[in-house]
Chain A
Amino acid sequence: MLAAILALTDAACSGPGTMTSASGPGAHRISMLAVGMFAIAAFVFLVVICFLAYGLFHRRQDADDEAPNLEDHGGTRMVLLGGIAFPIVVLIVLFVITLVALQAQANEDTGTHVFTINVIAHRWWWEFQYPTQGIDTANEVHIPTGEPVLMEVTSTDVIHSFWVPRLQRKVDAIPGRTNEVTVQADTDGTYLGECSEFCGLQHAHMRFNVVAESSDAFNAWVADQQKAAPEPPPGEALQGQQVFLGSSCVYCHSITGTNASGTVGPNLTHVASRTMLASGTIPNTPDELAAWIENPQAIKPGTQMPASGLTPTQLRQLVAYLETLS
């Protein structure tokens, strides 16, 4: 029955968040521990069920005797062997594999890393700062495939938890503290990340993507992200920039190369380069973007972003501008 958990998870139900489809050393370790422990657990369960079934259904000499049996004083050996000796053997195995895994994890976190990313959790989105590269982005973090990156995780408000099921364990994002975790992906791809500590109304919509790519692609992405936003072409996009800079958007958002330098919400300098909006809530298309700006509360009730109050024209212009920020 327990082995069924793994079998089912692996075979029929592989999804973007399936831990056992591990694609990084951290998740591999968890996955191997899971396989080992599920095997042990299934064995323990079977042993108990066999004893139970035997106890319930084995044929008895005194089948009709309803009077309590007060003569038999045995059975203690079974309690001691089954209840103490058997668990001790199992637990020693479990403790040893746990220590080995824990040591490997500690070695990884204290080992060398190609660079560090500061992960800052906000209600309800993720900020990723690359101090070495001078990048500040949101909800989509790029890393070079096959290389260990150190993530330093913290929070500006409440407690969140940083989790990429297919890559690594959870680490809590706690205000006033910084927790470290090594993130490494074995193969190129986009990996789903999620907040896994209840953090209020939109805990459900606090996802992000980890994009692992070849070092060439990664370097190209870095170079793009380091650029300031280009001046928009005349027309709707330019008008949109004026809408942006003339509205309350600037209190919360930054766009490098303009005067907008708010730090409450995600940095929008390269917003059009991201695949999702609102922390993995909706795909980043012009229509969805417009709907989001018009009334974020309808899409993500409780989000810190208020409705914009823009006219339809302004909204169209603003979206045209934001679409230039790739």
Chain B
Amino acid sequence: MATATEERLEEIWGEEPGPVSWFTTGDHKRIGKRYIVTALIFFFLGGVEAALMRWQLAQPGATHLTPEQYDELFSMHGTTMIFLFITPLFTGLANYLVPLMVGTRDMAFPRLNAFSYWIFLGAGLFLYAGFAVGAAPNGGWFAYPPMTGPVFNPGINMDIWSLGLIFLSISTTAGAINLIVTIMKLRAPGMSLARMPLYVWAMFVTAWMMVLAMPPLTYANVLLQLDRNLGTHFFDATAGGDSLLWQHLFWLFGHPDVYIIFLPAVGIISTVIPTFARRPIVGYPYVALATVLTGIIAFGVWVHHMFATGLPSLGLTFFAAASMIITIPSGVQIFAWLATIIRGRRPVFTTPFLFAIGFIVVFVIGGVTGVMFASVPFDQGVTDSYFIVAHFHYVLFGGAVFPMFAGLHYWFPKITGRMYSETLGKWSFWLIFIGFNATFFPMHIMGLMGMPRRIYTYSPDLGVGGLNLLSSIGAAVVFVGAVLVAINAIKSLVAGPKADANPWGAATLEWATTSPPQHYGFASIPVVQGRDPLWEQPELASNLTLTDGREILGTTVTDADPEEAIHMPEGSILPLLTALGFAGVFVSLLVGAEVAAIVAGVITLAFIGAWTWRIGGVPA
């Protein structure tokens, strides 16, 4: 029963089904889904790597894996989970959700969006090509030189890693800029900054952090490439360089990155909890402010990863204080969630809500052990032991993967148009929650008992065999729980009951669209009058239909007053071609074919030129 407006919009925004649009689409929903599915495949690969490591460590002195294999597995496990799973997954989710949540029809730059995905896919394949050629990265996910330099690691393992990350940073940065512009300029009329959903706030801060945190990493990797392949000595103490330079640059990226992973997760929690507590979040301005403050302070705590490197005491004291202060914004958020639950109606115990509650429990454990590291002498005791491994899995698995599961279940009906099975969902929650704690809680004790991290085997005399076995059994339980999530998803996709537009009775704008949304998203651009539009305004429809062409509405940055109709480009093959061009550059650099790299670079520039060509202000 499509209205005339809807038919007209479908005509403008619809895409030809079939293989051509696979390669040309700029639809944020399709790209978002691709990001999510690709990232989940990498999640599975990272999980298999973890499972193999737990197999090796289940008993002391096991020889299932060689030291080299073990090193490659933990290096790729960390690299995969950080760079190829959680960040792209949250980017994908934001790709799907942010335009809907702010009430627009697409991301600001659809072609750049397509490009970001292709680069992500290319960089992921590039990094995994190491396994195919028998030279997977083996220097750990923080790749400290000189161990990763040309003298001590002459193979191409670490070239794959550092070039792969430079390659990937193009995607991360482009994707982040796209999110920033979308959030700043495309919000529905009336959605002032003070009414922006907290998930959008979280992604806004995250995107800024991505833009600001990637350069130190890329810079460090460029220096490493120069050291490795052009004979410079930035990190080589024997020739006047300094290996600590790498650590400063890496953690100047690396600690903000923890919050790049964590903030989208708290954005999800701040969305899921009010929905199931049936009330607006308590302390909205404080939560939004806490998100921003976290993003700022996160750039001032990197040295707490380097407390054992022998830096001067005064500096350590400063970073200890900063590392303690950053817990305050997290405290604000936790108590805002608690207050929301307490002052809400009787909570609805759905799978997403269970994952959100599970998140609070495990994240508080990870948080309290985290603040202990700010206490310098304690940190110098436990750093680089399994205590650290326990801690960061509580904050990363607990703090990001639990919210991810909450979010994936929560938005499953919106994205797929089907309901998932609550029974299977609850089973998977309890398996993952119990398995997670069985896996990682014992690691605190292993660390205190002197088990260093990143060892491929351990001696029985250390007395940690039983704990390791428990941990390995826990990992198997987590694995089963995660597989159950996948089974639930596939089963529901095929045979789940059809989902309503707003099955949870939630407040944010994405639920105003059909499930799944049409190509054009909103038939009329909603005009927002509060923070919880679907709760406050039963009738959202406006006369802003924008049916003259492929148009979206641009609004002002702070107040979201309408400014102009913005013409949006059609899909194009150029993003894919440009990404392939970049792939050519990086593959050539990897194999040391400088001429080929230059040729590929020129071709890439030509594609970018064609892409940015305008005829009468409209993309060619």
Contact among B360, B364, B445, B459 with A5 in the assembled complex (CB-CB below 8 Å): B445
B611 at the interface (CB under 8 A from A): no
- List 16 A-B pairs, Cβ < 8 Å: A2-B365, A13-B449, A41-B368, A45-B368, A51-B338, A55-B347, A56-B347, A56-B357, A66-B345, A79-B335, A101-B376, A102-B317, A176-B237, A176-B243, A301-B67, A302-B68
In the complex, are the beta carbons of A177 and B283 less than 8 A apart?
A: no
A165 at the interface (CB under 8 A from B): yes
In the complex, are the beta carbons of A98 and B320 less than 8 A apart?
A: yes
Contact of A41 with B146 at beta-carbon distance under 8 Å, contacts A70-B532, A75-B343 already known: no
B464 at the interface (CB under 8 A from A): yes
B111 at the interface (CB under 8 A from A): no
In the complex, are the beta carbons of A169 and B381 less than 8 A apart?
A: yes
CA distance A249 to B357 in the complex (A): 62
How far does the Cβ of B546 sit from chain A's closest Cβ, in whole Å?
A: 30
Proximity bits, B442-480, A CB within 8 Å = 1, else 0: 001100111111111111011110010000000000000
Interface size on B, residues (CB 8 A): 94
A80 at the interface (CB under 8 A from B): yes
In the complex, are the beta carbons of B452 and A83 less than 8 A apart?
A: no
In the complex, are the beta carbons of B347 and A9 less than 8 A apart?
A: no
B135 at the interface (CB under 8 A from A): no
Contact of A70 with B381 at beta-carbon distance under 8 Å, contacts A60-B346, A87-B328, A195-B452 already known: no
A residues 2-27 with Cβ under 8 Å of B? 2, 5-6, 8-9, 13-20, 27
In the complex, are the beta carbons of B336 and A79 less than 8 A apart?
A: yes
Proximity bits, A282-307, B CB within 8 Å = 1, else 0: 00000000000000000001100000
Nearest chain-A residue to B388 (Cβ)? Answer: A196
Q: Which residues of A contact B328 (CB under 8 A)?
A: 83-84, 87-88, 91
CA distance A158 to B327 in the complex (A): 34
3 closest A-B pairs (Cβ-Cβ)?
A17-B450, A176-B237, A15-B463
Contact among A87, A105, A170, A201 with B383 in the assembled complex (CB-CB below 8 Å): A170
Chain A interface SS verdict (over half)? mixed
B385 at the interface (CB under 8 A from A): yes
Nearest chain-B residue to A163 (Cβ)? Answer: B452
Contact of A75 with B243 at beta-carbon distance under 8 Å, contacts A170-B383, A196-B384 already known: no
A228 at the interface (CB under 8 A from B): no
In the complex, are the beta carbons of B380 and A170 less than 8 A apart?
A: yes
B340 at the interface (CB under 8 A from A): yes
Q: Which residues of B contact A6 (CB under 8 A)?
A: 448
In the complex, are the beta carbons of A72 and B371 less than 8 A apart?
A: no
Q: Which residues of A contact B278 (CB under 8 A)?
A: 65-69
Selected interface stretch from A30-38, A131-139, A143-151, A251-259: A30-38
In the complex, are the beta carbons of B462 and A79 less than 8 A apart?
A: no
CA distance A201 to B455 in the complex (A): 9
Contact of A83 with B336 at beta-carbon distance under 8 Å, contacts A9-B445, A202-B67, A203-B455 already known: yes
Chain B interface SS verdict (over half)? helix
In the complex, are the beta carbons of A70 and B377 less than 8 A apart?
A: no
Contact of A45 with B365 at beta-carbon distance under 8 Å, contacts A37-B372, A174-B244, A198-B453 already known: yes
CA distance A34 to B459 in the complex (A): 25
CA distance A34 to B444 in the complex (A): 12
How far does the Cβ of A72 sit from chain B's closest Cβ, in whole Å?
A: 6
In the complex, are the beta carbons of B372 and A41 less than 8 A apart?
A: yes
Q: Which residues of A contact B368 (CB under 8 A)?
A: 2, 40-41, 44-45
CA distance A19 to B446 in the complex (A): 10
A74 at the interface (CB under 8 A from B): yes
A residues 47-104 with Cβ under 8 Å of B? 48-49, 51-52, 54-56, 58, 60, 62-63, 65-70, 72, 74-76, 78-84, 86-88, 91, 94-95, 97-99, 101-102
Proximity bits, B514-543, A CB within 8 Å = 1, else 0: 000000000000000000100110000000
Q: Which residues of A contact B331 (CB under 8 A)?
A: 82-84, 86-87
In the complex, are the beta carbons of B238 and A175 less than 8 A apart?
A: yes
B255 at the interface (CB under 8 A from A): no
Q: Which residues of A contact B364 (CB under 8 A)?
A: 44-45, 48-49
Q: Which residues of A contact B428 (CB under 8 A)?
A: none
CA distance A203 to B361 in the complex (A): 34
Q: Which residues of B contact A101 (CB under 8 A)?
A: 375-378
A179 at the interface (CB under 8 A from B): yes
- 7 more CB-based (< 8 A) A-B contacts, given A41-B368, A102-B377, A177-B310: A5-B445, A30-B380, A63-B346, A78-B282, A159-B147, A194-B450, A204-B456
In the complex, are the beta carbons of B283 and A157 less than 8 A apart?
A: no
CA distance A51 to B536 in the complex (A): 28
